[in-house]
Structures are given as C-alpha cells and as structure tokens.
Chains A and B, each alone.
Chain A
Amino acid sequence: MTAKTATQNACKLCNPLGACLAFRGIEKCVPFLHGSQGCATYIRRYLISHYKEPIDIASSNFNEETAVFGGSHNLKLGLKNVSQQYKPEVIGIATTCLSETIGDDVPMILKEYEAIMGGEGQLPAMVFASTPSYSGTHIDGFHAAVRSTVKTFATEGPKRNLANLFPGMVSPADIRYLKEIMNAFGMPFVLLPDYSQTLDGGPWAEYHRIPPGGTPVRAIESTGSASASIEFGSTLEAGKSAAGWLEERFGVPRIHLPLPVGIKASDRFFEALEQLTEKPMPELYEDERRRLVDAYADGHKYVFGRRAILYGEEDLVISMAAFLHEIGVVPVLCASGGKSGLMKKRLQELVPDLDGLGIKVREGVDFVDIEHEADGLQPDLLIGNSKGFAMSKRHDLPLIRIGFPIHDRFGGQRLHHLGYRGTQELFDRIVNTVIEQRQKASPIGYTYM
C-alpha cells in the first residue's frame, strides 16, 4: 500500500527559497526572510550546497512574543540591523508561512519604517514579495520576487531601443550565455535576475558584505521603457510575471517563450531576437547551431528510442521533454512537484502527439509517486536534479543531472541548459551516458564507439 496523503521525498521546495534566490540577482541586495531563524538558515544551507558561494539571508527571527503580538517590531529592528551591517542598496523581503499565518501587513510595516527612519539619511530600497510556504513551490516565490522587483522600480518613459530578458530560474552559466547572446546582437538589454556573478564569482581580495554583481537598480528602473520583454517559462502566466506586469502597466510587449532547450525552442528565441533587433543571427551562433545539427546526426543512433523519466520544475521538464522528443528519446514520464494545472497543455503545444507516444504527465507528485508511476515504463535514463539519486540507485538507472539542486556533483552552477550551446552540452552528456552504459555492459569492452 502506498501512502497518498503525506508528501514523501518532495519534488519541490518552498516558496521563500525561490524569492531568496531571485533577490540574490539584484545588485547590492540582501535577501531578508520575515519568519523564524530556521527558514533563513535552512535555505542558505540548501543554496550553498549547490552554488558553493556565501549566501547571506537575514531573518527577523521570530520568537513567541512576535508570533502573538505581530512581527512589526522585529521586522523594523531587523531592517535597521541588516542596513547597518550590510549597507545594502536594496533589501528583498519575503514572507514565510509563519508571518503570513499571523497576518502581518508587511507593506504597511515597511511604510511605517520608512516614515520613522526617513530622516536618517538614505534608506535602502525595499522590495516585498509575499511567499507563504503553504502555497505553490520555490518557482512561485522566484517569479513573485522578480515581479515585485519590477513593480517596485520600473518607471514609465518613452520607448527606447532596449530589451528586457526574464529567463526564470536558470543556472549562472546559462545567464552568462544569455548575456553574451544579447551583447552579440548589439541591443541594450536588462536581464533580471542576474546571479551569474553573485552565485558563481571569483575569489575575494577583500571582504565583501554583498558579493559583486547582480542587476543594478538603475537598469531595473528602465525596464518600463523597453521596446519588449522576453520571458521564459511555459507555465508562467502573465498575471504572475514581471513581463506580464510591464505589458499591462506600461505597454511593453511580452514575448513569452518556453525555456530555449533544443534546436526548435532555441530557434524561436533567436528568431525573436532577430525580429526585435532587426539583425540576423550572429555568425557565432549560426556556427553553434550548425555544429549541433551535425552532432545530432553523429549521435542519433545512440539515443533513438531510449526512454527517459524527467522530473523537476514544470517549465524545465516541459522544455527538456520537447528537446528529448526532437532527438528521438521518449520522455515516458514528465513529472513535477509543481501544480500549475497547465503542464500537460503546454507540453502538448510542443509535442502534439503526446498521448499517442504514451507520455505520462504528472503534476503535484513526489519521488515516491514518480517511482510508482515509473513502474512498467522500462526507462533507460533518469533526467533531473540530485534528489532522484536514490531512485536511480535502486533501479540501476543512470541519472543525468540538470537544473537545481545538484548537491551530489561538482559544478552544477556551471552547467549549460539553454540555447544551442546548452543543448550541445546536454546532448553530449546524454549520448555519453548511453555509450558508457553499453560499454560497461559489454563483455568485450570496446575502446571505440
């Protein structure tokens, strides 16, 4: 009998984690959790294990009194202390289940704080995201933080030659690659959030209270006058997204795309850039694409007909499934702890013969459900984050690690997933995994492919 009510080995994290991560991508910003000390500490530990960088998250450190009489005093004291010790330009405040349940009106507390402190020189800007851990997942917290950052800073202005790029929760290496692409197209852009340096930076010659890097506030202000926003994430609805808000408020058109994984999805991203910039794709990326098409040909036999189980955040799973489909791998099970209600629909738009191929799509599941669903599917590969390792070990299935968290391998922050370059990396890893399996299983032990 399998227990149904409890969540066992969750395939999701809580809302505030995503907000902290997104706030890390704003220049001179300190994330601040309004709740118990443990929330900040656990989330720090979890993020550090993946990014291998110092990640300071302040906490208003609730005690019993705070829970009874409200968090106003603690929040104000906390903001004062964190301002003194970190000298931030921005404080990114997110709630937790505790402060949400007692019903703290954080925007009002922040207004009071500004009124009290207003006289004492420049206050840091404060961004607030509501992220109760009892609803949604870390992805919702991530998008809530990005949206509220834009809402806090964006100003209206005459439209100019400027593109906004909201990539969602991607790796620092992916962010660096996206910036390189934007630069190659020669169009001014704002990418938010940019934690490519704050969460994957160099050694420190001196002590930094806040690591260098991140999207500057001035740049975020200008997002209101951009000529368009490109936003990744198939299940991300306009009503919950930064680009959606900019479109509604300032008429900045929202170009909504799936995460560009695979040739087809990457083509859509590059086409959007070509249209926006009225420039052809730079030769560098034409080359990358040509090499990728060539690699698909060289490797196709190893992967054709292989069966993969995919799990993780809904948007990553959807884009990965479309990519696998275009190389002949069948994503027999596409699973996520997220529950947008849109996963199957969005996936069907990219892989129309979903049902015909017998592909199962499961939202709101945990790892025990995934293992249960996998029964009888005869998978060859597992593709997802480190948390699938126990399952991979039990079923002797190779695990190809992507996304977040990667806690049991080195270099998760430097993995590429997006565009032709990211797809090339993923394709090479998948092909090599299959070859390695065959080599291991072969009594001859071929030293060639």
Chain B
Amino acid sequence: MDTHNIALLEGREGQVYEKRQDGPEVEIACDKTSLSGSVSQRACVFCGSRVVLYPVADAIHIVHGPIGCAAYTWDIRGAVSSGPELHRLSFSTDLQEMDVIYGGEKKLYRSLVELIDQYEPKAAFIYSTCIIGLIGDDIEAVCRKVAKEKGIPVMPVHSEGFKGTKKDGYKAACNALMKLVGTGSTEGISKYSINILGEFNLAGEAWIIREYYEKMGVQVVATMTGDGRIDDIRRSHGATLNVVQCSGSMTTLAKEMEEKYGIPYIRVSYFGFEDMSKSLYDVAALFPDRPEIMDKAKEIVRDEIRKYYPEMQQFKAALTGRKAAIYVGGAFKTFSLIKALRTVGMSVVLAGSQTGNKDDYRRLKEMCDEGTVIVDDSNPVELSKFVLEKEADLLIGGVKERPIAFKLGVGFCDHNHERKIPLAGFVGMYNFAKEVYESVMSPVWQFAPRKGGLK
C-alpha cells in the first residue's frame, strides 16, 4: 500500500523515531504542547484531572463551565464502585452567556449547596474549565465558604483546559487529593501496609490487585482512586508504602506524600505476568522482617501462572510472528505491553504514547526491536501510516484509535478506560491474550481490502 506520500507535519519530526542499528543517536522530543492544527489524540488539562479523580465514588464532581465538558465525561469510564456511585453522575453549572458576562460564582455557590443537600456526599471536587480562568471566578473562595457551611471538604481543581497539557491536569488532581491526605485518623493501620496509587478499578482491576496484596498479608489502606473513598484517602498517610501504577498521573502525589509524611514509593505495573509478579515481589521485598509475605507472594505467582499457562500456550501458538502497534496514554504502560505481547509471541512494530517523558522514551528505545517506530503525541494520519507500512496485525489503544484499526482491517484491543474486562493481574493477562487472539484471529479480516477482500 502506498503510504510514502504521507508526510510528517513540520515541527513533529523530533517526536517520531525509527530504531536502527546504524541510525543516529537522537533523543525523542516530548513534553511539548500539541501542534496547532494537528489532530492530537490527547485531550486537555481538564481531562487529566477528570480521569484521576473520576473514580472517587462518594464525592460529587462538579464541572464549572458550559455544558460540554460535563456532558462528554458523564459515565464514560468503567471505574466500578463497591458502594456509592456518585461518580457516575454528571454535574455542571452549565454556564450561559449572562453568567459568562457577570461571573459564575453565585451559580457555583447555589449549585454546590443544593447538590450537597441532595446527595450528602463526603466531599466535593470543583473542576474549573477554560473560561473560568478568563472570567475570573474566585472558586477558591466559593469552595472555602461552602466547606465551612456544609462541613465537608470542598476542593477546587484548577483544570482550565488550555493551561498546559493533560499532565498538568494530573498535577491539579494530585494537589486536590493532597489536601485530603493527612486529615483522617490512622488508627488500626498495620506496619505492613500500602496505598495503591494510579489504579482506577476499571472493570474491577483494583479489587484483583488488592486481593493479591491482602493474601500476602499486606494491608491496603487506600486505593487512589479506584473504588475510592474520601475517608480512606484522608488516612492514607498512615500507610508504610505507596505503590504507584500509571506513574504519569500519580507520581506527583507519591512524591508529595514522601516529602510530607516520609512514605517511600515504588513504581509498578500490573499488566502481564512478568510485571505483575514483580509488583508483588517488590512490595514483599520492602517488608523483609516478615518473610512469610514473600513466601506468600511466590505462592500466588506460582498458582496463578500455573492456572493460566496451558491456555496461554495455545494463544501463543496461534499468535507467534504477528505484529502489534501500541498507542496509549502513558509510556509506562507500553513497557508492560511490549513484554506481555512477547509472552504470546508477538513483536511490536510501533510504540507510542500521548504523555511519555524523556526517561520513558529512552527506556522504550532500549526495549524495542530493530525497525520499531516510536512516536510521541501522534495523530490519526501518522498512526495509520505506520500501521500500514509496518503491516501490523493489531493495534492497542483507546476509543479514538479503534476506528483507525477497523477501517484498515487490523485487529484491536481497547486498553483504555472504556474496557469492561479486567486486563490487570494474572487473570487480566489471560483476558488480554484472549482478546488479542479473538481480534487478530477473527475470520472477518479475509474480507478487508488489504487482505485481498475476496473479490
């Protein structure tokens, strides 16, 4: 297929790299704002804050601004709750023209008071959207006033869409969480305890991970923010260790907790047998005075892998030699996915992320095979170009990448927030392999034009 005429945009050359033995040693450009006029797969600051805080289920989340931002984020993640489900509701101050002219503080105040009376939440998060930064609403003052009157924490989240990238949104969310941390009682927290950070309980994944740790004899104080509860977050400073997945979003909080409460943190990933096992061993290794924790971790790993190994071999037999392209939000996930795909015999021909940093891309370069293309903040045109040129059989991404794969006759695995089947943990690796197998091996591709189309 002819794709050589698809050129990269001027200004994006540094963000695309093809690994070559004889190639020049260059650093991949990243941490840049998206180029105007490109169709970035990224969202905005608001999106970054919203994804991090969304799963907190006993708080109300009020989007201060016109209706769009609230409407497009209403019940869009599979972040499940074992109890209250306030996070699945959408609240907006739905600002109108007159509010933009005269200011939205009064409307925000009334909205907050009424919603708190109606739903009796444990806390409220107030997200400011683009125009709040322009019309100059003092949302800090409104939050303080309401918090005082209603006796619950009311946290402003400074997430004006244009004030940075998605990463700045993560930071704003972490700042809001940090205001809660340290305000609750740490009574009853064991020395052998952790917080799970950066795990959003999509399809119940946090429950799977939590169960492993609890089986090891480690107490989980708070999961942030999957199946999250305000009271757990408030006492999370009582934990001994922070275990951070999705490091792009939650490292800020882990660092602040380290600084303020002396809690060390480690980075983990729960995707794939290799990284999942390591996440358990790494935690166990930090509790050396209780060796039974490590013994139990080993037992879990052994049992779980034994359970799924035979079927994994069948998937591997079918998938060996197939090629995958990965384009996800955070770079840390791509490391796990490359390893997970190798487990089932697949190679990676394209790896990229929306928000990776320099260290991430350096590591990615080391991990990748010769000829693999690495991209930062890519767009549909580039992704299509490389998927076709590299003859990928599978694309891993989110909702926005899915139709690109299907249009071009390529299998797809949704590894983003809409997934409804857990992909984390040992069972998650099995589900992942099964999903990849079912999409790549589907007989429907015989009708795709790039496979001849049967006509």
Contact = CB atoms under 8 A, between A and B. Distances in A.
Interface of A: 1-10, 12-17, 32, 35-46, 48-49, 52-64, 66-67, 74-75, 77-82, 84-86, 96-98, 101-102, 132-135, 137, 203-207, 209, 387, 390
Contacts of B92: 6-8, 10
Contact of A52 (B162, B384, B406, B453): B406
Interface stretch (B40-48, B259-267, B317-325): B40-48
Contacts of B34: 37, 59, 61
B367 interface: no
B443 interface: no
A49 B37 contact: no
B21 interface: no
Contact of A42 (B11, B43, B130, B409): B43
6 contacts: A6-B62, A61-B36, A82-B37, A101-B130, A101-B135, A134-B66
Interface stretch (B113-121, B189-197, B200-208, B332-340): B113-121
Given A52-B403, A207-B384, A1 B114 contact: yes
**Residue picked from A10, A49, A54, A101, most chain B C-beta under 10 Å:** A54
Contacts of B131: 97-98, 101, 134
A53 B400 CA distance: 9
Interface string B373-384: 000000111001
A61 B66 contact: no
A42 B68 contact: yes
B91 A85 contact: no
Which 4 A-B pairs give the minimum distances between C-beta atoms?
A38-B44, A81-B37, A14-B68, A78-B37
A45 B44 CA distance: 13
**Residue picked from A2, A9, A60, A75, most chain B C-beta under 10 Å:** A9
B26 interface: no
B449 A205 contact: yes
Given A85-B381, A97-B65, A77 B44 contact: no
Given A8-B91, A10-B71, A56-B380, A38 B46 contact: yes
A6 B93 contact: yes
B47 A42 contact: yes
Contact of A5 (B3, B111, B399): B111
Interface string B82-99: 000000111111111101
B301 to A, nearest CB: 37
Given A5-B114, A13-B71, 7 more contacts: A6-B115, A8-B91, A39-B68, A59-B37, A60-B37, A85-B37, A135-B97
B330 interface: no
A203 B43 contact: no
Contacts of A54: 380, 403-404, 407
B388 A36 contact: no
A4 B111 CA distance: 8
B39 A59 contact: yes
B118 A7 contact: no
A204 B380 contact: no
Given A45-B400, A81-B10, A101 B68 contact: no
Nearest to B98: A134
Given A7-B92, A207-B385, A84 B97 contact: no
B162 A98 contact: yes
Contact of B388 (A16, A53, A58, A207): A207
A68 B91 CA distance: 28
A95 B41 CA distance: 20
A134 B97 contact: yes
B380 to A, nearest CB: 5
B111 A78 contact: no
A79 B35 CA distance: 11
B107 interface: yes
Contacts of B47: 38, 41-42
A9 B90 contact: yes
Contacts of A102: 134
A429 to B, nearest CB: 24
Contacts of A1: 114, 117-118
Interface string B48-91: 00000000000000100111111111111000000000001111
A96 B42 CA distance: 17
Count class of interface residues, chain B: 35 or more
B74 to A, nearest CB: 6
B275 to A, nearest CB: 28
Given A101-B100, A203-B409, A4 B399 contact: no
Contacts of B298: none
B448 A44 contact: no
B409 to A, nearest CB: 6
B68 A58 contact: no
B161 interface: yes
A226 B34 CA distance: 44
A441 B129 CA distance: 48
A34 B62 CA distance: 25
A78 B75 CA distance: 32
Contacts of B117: 1, 3
Nearest to A31: B39
Contacts of A96: 130
Contacts of B447: 203
Nearest to A68: B134
Contacts of B118: 1-3
Contacts of B96: 134-135
B407 A35 contact: no
Given A6-B91, A81-B35, A134-B97, A12 B67 contact: yes
A59 B71 contact: no
B163 interface: yes
A13 B68 contact: yes
Contact of B162 (A36, A57, A204, A205): A36
Contacts of A61: 33-38, 40
Contacts of B70: 7, 10
A59 B36 contact: yes
B162 A66 contact: yes
B2 to A, nearest CB: 7
Contacts of B43: 37-38, 41-42
A37 B76 CA distance: 19
Contact of B89 (A9, A40, A59, A74): A9
A49 B1 contact: no
Nearest to B94: A7
Contacts of B381: 56, 85-86, 207, 209
Contacts of B399: 45, 48-49
Interface string B242-266: 0000000000000000000000000
Contact of B37 (A15, A41, A79, A209): A79
A204 B33 contact: no
B234 to A, nearest CB: 25
**Residue picked from B7, B35, B38, B453, most chain A C-beta under 10 Å:** B38
B161 A14 contact: no
Nearest to A34: B36
Nearest to A56: B39
Interface string B381-398: 100110010000000000
